[in-house]
């Protein structure tokens, strides 16, 4: 295209988005990094540079941090076991045009568009010991013998949260896999069909190997999502009881907005950021290197 | 044989779909029950006297929050997309130095956790005297709509054929005219997808809502719903009605634009 070199117009286009983005996204990130090197209690005037002090203290001595990180890792594992697996199965089953497929697709994807706030409240009701769906079903089928109180089952609460999260996330995995399956070229499938390949062979020797890239994408994206979890934890347990169901995001939030430890909370947010960068840069690279 | 097989698959799909949505069905079932009946008959019975009183009562409490979220969406989504489209057009079509850098910079916004921006933005809004104000939350929603919209629009602009634009240049049109009269109208499909996903993101957001708005009158629906639930601890017949009301706009959107929403989410995830 003919256009004057060094013209200013393109930069005028870019100015407004860049300004807003810079001021409310880039600057806050850097400011948060800066704050993470300080011992700053928001309510007091204490504001002291301590270098990596916050990070060292969090990693070495903070029991709740360790629990939160572990919960994020559990969330990763749970996400791979439930939504990723189920999503792949659904996508494979729904691939061929069968009647009823549209309904199932719509049903599984519905929770994805609902707010996590609504989903969290719904599951709190489902688990509710007296009026909840699950407990009433248990009572009905066991003649009142079996009941459960999810909130008293302290060690396992995080898994109940993961189940709720999985219900809401499976549809997302399903459509990512569906897009991948669709992109497998028709000619490959056709020539396989001409060679007399049966359904099972088609699945294991042609479709699944071709889905490898998609699987990598889904895994990396899902891990990142598992580390970003916040709303569901906040709505269902608020990190409790005993702060034991926190994840990194909720711990950072709690540290800043409930305990007013601004420096420490920023450091936790940055640890979360570093984990996410690690997943997207390093893990992504590792997986794609393995392919070659 | 094949006929039976088909029927079996169909049955399987419908059954799994119904099981998947079971929580929602029971949620609806509870929400239309008269309160007294809910406490005597429990969750499973289907009421013979369905009522909307629970909805009326929930609406009285969350109507304002609902309205606030409507304003948030109506203002921040078009504004965010418009601003993003300017940048997207520049990065896709015009001569900008360091294009690659800018692209990565804007894409970072989709990867990063919002938590890293919360405290600094809280401080900024406090300084600007915009905490607990409509302007403050609108500003933030607008800005946080930019990265995704920009990604979608940029991809779309890059895929457009240059021919029409080139003939416009020959006719003496400037960059801005081409953007406004040619590129933007042609980008309608991408604008619709961005609009849908930004709508869902703003409507469903909880973190900004609870961090930047503590004022009851300006509170968006998600944070308002939490408060409402706190008030009605274990009055689930009302809570369920509130949950359903809060989900209604997004659900309607989903029914009409299912294909675009799925497409947009799948595409956004690939680069997220």
CATH number of the domain enclosing A157: 1.10.3720.10
Residue with the two structure tokens 């060690």: A155
Residue B106 lies in a domain: yes
As a whole number of angstroms, the distance between CA B76 and CA A125 comes to 32
Higher pLDDT: A9 or B102? It is: B102
C-beta atoms of B117 and A257 within 8 A = no
| Per-residue pLDDT tens digits for A223-242 | 999 999 999 999 999 998 98
C-beta atoms of A269 and B105 within 8 A = no
Higher pLDDT: B231 or B184? It is: B184
As a whole number of angstroms, the distance between CA B116 and CA B84 comes to 22
Residue B211 lies in a domain: yes
Strand partners, B132: none
As a whole number of angstroms, the distance between CA A99 and CA B135 comes to 49
As a whole number of angstroms, the distance between CA B27 and CA B120 comes to 39
- Asked if A163 has any chain B CB less than 8 Å from its own CB, the reply is no
Identify the pLDDT of residue A2: 46
Identify the pLDDT of residue A5: 54
- Asked if B124 has any chain A CB less than 8 Å from its own CB, the reply is yes
| Per-residue pLDDT tens digits for A181-192 | 988 877 777 787
CB-based contact B136:B130 (threshold 8 Å): yes
Q: Which of A73, A121, A158 lies closest to B221 in space, CA to CA?
A: A121
Question: Which residues from chain A sit within 8 angstroms of residue B225, using beta carbons?
Answer: 117-118, 121
CB-based contact A30:B156 (threshold 8 Å): no
Q: Could you give the number of structural domains in chain A?
A: 1
Identify the pLDDT of residue B1: 57
Nearest to A99 among B10, B42, B143 (CB): B10
Q: How many helices (DSSP H) and strands (DSSP E) are in chain B?
A: 13, 0
Tokens describing residue A78: 């749970």
* CB neighbour list of residue B15: distance below 8 Å, 6 or more residues apart: none
- Asked if B253 has any chain A CB less than 8 Å from its own CB, the reply is yes
Q: Could you give the number of structural domains in chain B?
A: 1
Identify the pLDDT of residue A1: 46
Q: Which of A285, A209, A221, A261 lies closest to A65 in space, CA to CA?
A: A261
**Residue A258 three-state SS:** coil
Question: Which residues from chain B sit within 8 angstroms of residue A93, using beta carbons?
Answer: 9, 13
- The most confident of A91-105, A111-125, B258-272, by mean pLDDT: A111-125
CB-based contact B125:B136 (threshold 8 Å): yes
Residue A125 lies in a domain: yes
Identify the pLDDT of residue B63: 94
Report residue B180: phi and psi, to 5°: -75, -45
Tokens describing residue B191: 């604008």
Residue A5 lies in a domain: no
Tokens describing residue B148: 């995704």
Nearest to A136 among B44, B179, B261 (CB): B44
**Segment 60-99 of chain A within 8 Å of chain B by CB:** 93-94, 98-99
Question: Which residues from chain A sit within 8 angstroms of residue B236, using beta carbons?
Answer: 125, 128, 131
Question: Which residues from chain A sit within 8 angstroms of residue B150, using beta carbons?
Answer: 17
Mean pLDDT of A63-81: 96
| Per-residue pLDDT tens digits for B136-175 | 999 999 999 999 999 999 999 998 888 888 888 888 888 8
DSSP secondary-structure letter at B112? S
Mean pLDDT of A144-163: 87
Mean pLDDT for all residues in chain A: 89
Higher pLDDT: B66 or B270? It is: B66
- Segment B187-190 long-range contacts (CB within 8 Å, at least 24 positions apart): B187/B85, B187/B153, B187/B156, B187/B157, B187/B160, B189/B156, B190/B152, B190/B153, B190/B155, B190/B156
B49 phi-psi bin (left φ>0, alpha ψ -120 to 50, beta other): beta
| Per-residue pLDDT tens digits for B16-70 | 999 999 999 989 999 998 888 887 777 787 888 888 999 999 999 999 999 999 9
As a whole number of angstroms, the distance between CA A226 and CA B193 comes to 25
The lowest-confidence range among A5-9, A199-203, A279-283, B10-14 is: A5-9
| Per-residue pLDDT tens digits for B60-117 | 999 999 999 999 999 999 999 999 999 999 999 898 888 999 999 998 888 889 999 9
| Per-residue pLDDT tens digits for B170-221 | 888 888 999 999 999 999 999 999 999 999 999 999 999 999 998 889 999 9
The chain A residue lying nearest B122, using CA atoms, is A28
- A134: containing domain: 64-291
Question: Which residues from chain A sit within 8 angstroms of residue B86, using beta carbons?
Answer: 13-14, 16-17
Residue B235 lies in a domain: yes
Identify the pLDDT of residue B3: 85
- B231: containing domain: 58-271
Residue B190 lies in a domain: yes
CB-based contact A140:B44 (threshold 8 Å): yes
């Amino acid at each position: 295209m003919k256009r004057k070199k060094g013209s200013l117009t393109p930069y005028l286009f870019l100015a407004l988005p860049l300004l807003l983005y810079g001021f409310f996204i880039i600057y806050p990130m850097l400011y948060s990094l800066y704050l993470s090197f300080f011992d700053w209690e928001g309510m007091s005037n204490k504001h002291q540079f301590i270098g990596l002090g916050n990070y060292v203290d969090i990693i070495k001595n903070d029991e709740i941090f360790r629990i939160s990180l572990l919960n994020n890792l559990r969330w990763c594992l749970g996400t791979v076991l439930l939504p990723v697996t189920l999503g792949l199965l659904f996508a494979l089953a729904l691939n061929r045009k069968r009647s009823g497929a549209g309904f199932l697709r719509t049903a599984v994807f519905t929770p994805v568009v609902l707010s996590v706030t609504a989903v969290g409240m719904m599951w709190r009701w489902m688990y509710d010991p007296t009026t909840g769906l699950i407990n009433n079903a248990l009572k009905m089928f066991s003649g009142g013998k079996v009941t459960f109180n999810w909130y008293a089952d302290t060690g396992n609460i995080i898994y109940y949260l993961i189940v709720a999260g999985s219900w809401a996330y499976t549809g997302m995995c399903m459509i990512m896999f569906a897009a991948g399956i669709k992109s497998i070229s028709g000619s490959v499938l056709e020539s396989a069909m001409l060679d007399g390949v049966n359904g099972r062979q088609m699945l294991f020797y042609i479709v699944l190997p071709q889905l490898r890239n998609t699987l990598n994408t889904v895994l990396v994206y899902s891990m990142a999502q598992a580390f970003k979890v916040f709303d569901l934890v906040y709505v269902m347990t608020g990190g409790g009881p005993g702060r034991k169901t926190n994840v990194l995001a909720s711990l950072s939030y709690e540290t800043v907005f409930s305990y007013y430890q601004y420096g420490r909370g920023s450091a936790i947010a940055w640890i979360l950021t570093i984990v996410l960068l690690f997943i997207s840069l390093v893990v992504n690279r590792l997986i794609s290197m393995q392919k070659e | 044989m094949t006929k039976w097989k088909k029927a079996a698959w169909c049955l399987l799909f419908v059954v799994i779909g119904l099981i998947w949505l079971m929580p929602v069905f029971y949620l609806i079932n509870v929400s239309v029950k008269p309160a007294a009946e809910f406490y005597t008959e429990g969750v499973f019975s289907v009421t013979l006297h369905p009522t909307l009183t629970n909805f009326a009562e929930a609406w009285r409490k969350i109507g304002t929050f609902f309205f606030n979220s409507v304003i948030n969406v109506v203002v921040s989504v078009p504004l965010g997309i418009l601003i993003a489209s300017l940048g997207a057009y520049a990065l896709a079509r015009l001569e900008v130095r360091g294009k690659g850098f800018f692209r990565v910079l804007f894409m970072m916004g989709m990867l990063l956790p919002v938590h890293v921006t919360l405290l600094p933005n809280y401080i900024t809004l406090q300084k600007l005297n915009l905490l607990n104000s409509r302007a403050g939350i609108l500003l933030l929603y607008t800005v946080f709509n930019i990265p995704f919209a920009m990604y979608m629009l940029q991809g779309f602009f890059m895929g457009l054929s240059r021919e029409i634009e080139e003939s416009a240049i020959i006719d003496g049109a400037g960059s801005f005219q081409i953007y406004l009269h040619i590129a933007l109208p042609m980008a309608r499909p991408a604008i619709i997808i961005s609009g849908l996903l930004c709508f869902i993101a703003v409507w469903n957001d909880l973190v900004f809502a609870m961090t930047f708005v503590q004022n009851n009158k300006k509170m968006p629906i998600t944070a308002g719903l939490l408060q409402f639930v706190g008030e009605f601890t274990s009055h689930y017949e009302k809570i369920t009605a509130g949950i359903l009301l809060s989900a209604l706009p997004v659900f309607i959107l989903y029914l009409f634009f299912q294909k675009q929403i799925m497409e947009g989410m799948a595409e956004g995830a690939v680069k997220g």
